[in-house]
Amino acid sequence: GRTIAVFTSGGDSQGMNSAVRSVVRMGIYLGCKVYFINEGYQGMVDGGDNIRLADWNSVSDIIQKGGTIIGSARCADFRTPEGRLKACFNLLERDITNLVCIGGDGSLTGANQFRKDWPDLIKDLVQQGKITQEKADANPNIQIVGMVGSIDNDFCGTDMTIGTDSALQRIIEAIDAVVSTAQSHQRSFVVEVMGRHCGYLALVTALASEADFCFIPEWPPPSNWRDILCAKLQQQRKEGQRLNIIIVAEGAIDRDGNPITAELVKDVVNKTLKYDTRVTVLGHVQRGGAPSAFDRLLGCRMGAEAVLALMEMTPESEPCVISIDGNQMVRVPLMQCVARTQKVQAAMNEKNWELAVQLRGRS
Ligand code: F6P
């Protein structure tokens, strides 16, 4: 069997534990040795107790937990060649040449860079006398499989990322709660949701909560958005609605690229319409707590597929990402997904909104 290591990197998300559990159990089932790497790339660079052998029971009772039991971090050291050299040595010391990375696009891009550097890294380690030439020859490269763990659903190449569904449930529950109090007091509420530069969470929850208005980064409103917004809210009130819900993605902007914040929207509604308006920022509540059934299952299925993919890989194989396409688990070249995800951001920077929206969709 092979020797595999699994780690979580970047912001955590609900369902990561399910993915870790699945990698460990599928790996052991297929006769592999599976290691945990604690604290993401930082643990890989620091080595020692951060890299420890997993067994069947070490992943019992974690599927229902939010976050990641093996810890996660955003790591500056791994961005340096010295950091990657240490990481390479720590892995080779344990004969680990198969990696499962669960994280966002930054973490997966880092994994790709690591693989590109690997041949030079092992050369350096031989020169420094840290590993033998035989060891270097036996491990000419590292095999890498990624899974996207993020509540944002901002990664091109997969229909859903691990954690998004749980975040949606949490947001919907929160909006339902806000609606009931808004109704009593005839108030308007501006709800800010996460998503970084991606409007998925905002758009989907706006649809599912019957919101009156929604602001997302990929489709900024025209410059007279204040008038359009107020006219819409007024119309809803005229039709008998006692409240308004406006969803603002944290990355929302106008067509000139200026941020549209929840506070700004509140002030507009308050001053123009004189409606009693409040802001609710949901924050990290969206990222915590128990994963939904969907995310548990997604983590399970992606984790198992990740190990199966590794089993077929050779040192020549390019890294892949496990994606959900429809209801199928598929393998997609990692760099293809990263490149497309970066194109979305580039299109947004160039204010090419049509292209940004098009690229966000399925290919
Ligand atoms: O990427 C997930 C996410 O929760 C984003 O929605 C948000 O912008 C960011 O992470 C917050 O990061 P941090 O937890 O480091 O404050």
Q: What is the arithmetic mean of pLDDT over 36-56?
A: 98
Distance CA 67, CA 224 (A): 41
Tokens of residue 50, six digits: 């951060």
What is the percent of the chain where pLDDT is above 70?
Answer: 100
pLDDT over 80 (residue 229) = yes
Pocket lining: 195 vs ligand 1, CB cutoff 6 Å: yes
Pocket lining: 287 vs ligand 1, CB cutoff 6 Å: yes
What is the percent of the chain where pLDDT is above 90?
Answer: 98
Pocket lining: 151 vs ligand 1, CB cutoff 6 Å: yes
What angle do the packed helices 105-127 and 334-349 form, to 10 degrees? Answer: 130
Pocket lining: 201 vs ligand 1, CB cutoff 6 Å: no
Centroid of ligand 1 to alpha carbon of 309 (angstroms) = 29
Interface predicted TM-score of the whole assembly (ipTM), two decimals = 0.98
pLDDT over 80 (residue 54) = yes
User: Of the listed 152, 165, 212, 295, which one is catalytic?
Assistant: 152
286 is known to lie in a ligand binding site: yes
Phi, psi of 12 (to 5 degrees): -75, 170
pLDDT digits (tens, 9 = 90+) for 133-174: 999 999 999 999 999 999 999 999 999 999 999 999 999 999
pLDDT digits (tens, 9 = 90+) for 77-121: 999 999 999 999 999 999 999 999 999 989 999 999 999 999 999
pLDDT over 70 (residue 70) = yes
152 classed as catalytic: yes
Centroid of ligand 1 to alpha carbon of 154 (angstroms) = 12
Centroid of ligand 1 to alpha carbon of 106 (angstroms) = 13
End-to-end CA gap in the chain = 36
Q: How many residues does the chain have?
A: 363
Closest CA to 149 of 17, 332, 304: 17
| 3-class SS string, the chain | CCEEEEEECCCCCCCHHHHHHHHHHHHHHCCCEEEEECCHHHHHHHCHHHEEECCHHHHCCCCCCCCCCCCCCCCCHHHCHHHHHHHHHHHHHCCCCEEEEEECHHHHHHHHHHHHHHHHHHHHHHHCCCCCHHHHHHCCCCEEEEEEEECCCCCCCCCCCEEHHHHHHHHHHHHHHHHHHHHHHCCEEEEEECCCCCCHHHHHHHHHHCCCEEECCCCCCCCCHHHHHHHHHHHHHHCCCCCEEEEEECCCECCCCCECCHHHHHHHHHHHHCCCEEEEECHHHHCCCCCCHHHHHHHHHHHHHHHHHHHHCCCCCCCEEEEEECCEEEEEEHHHHHHHHHHHHHHHHCCCHHHHHHHHCCC
Closest CA to 328 of 158, 164, 166: 158
Predicted pLDDT of residue 361: 86
107 is known to lie in a ligand binding site: yes
Do the Cβ atoms of 35 and 52 come closer than 8 Å?
yes
Predicted pLDDT of residue 1: 87
Q: Which pTM does this prediction carry?
A: 0.96
Predicted pLDDT of residue 363: 59
Predicted pLDDT of residue 184: 97
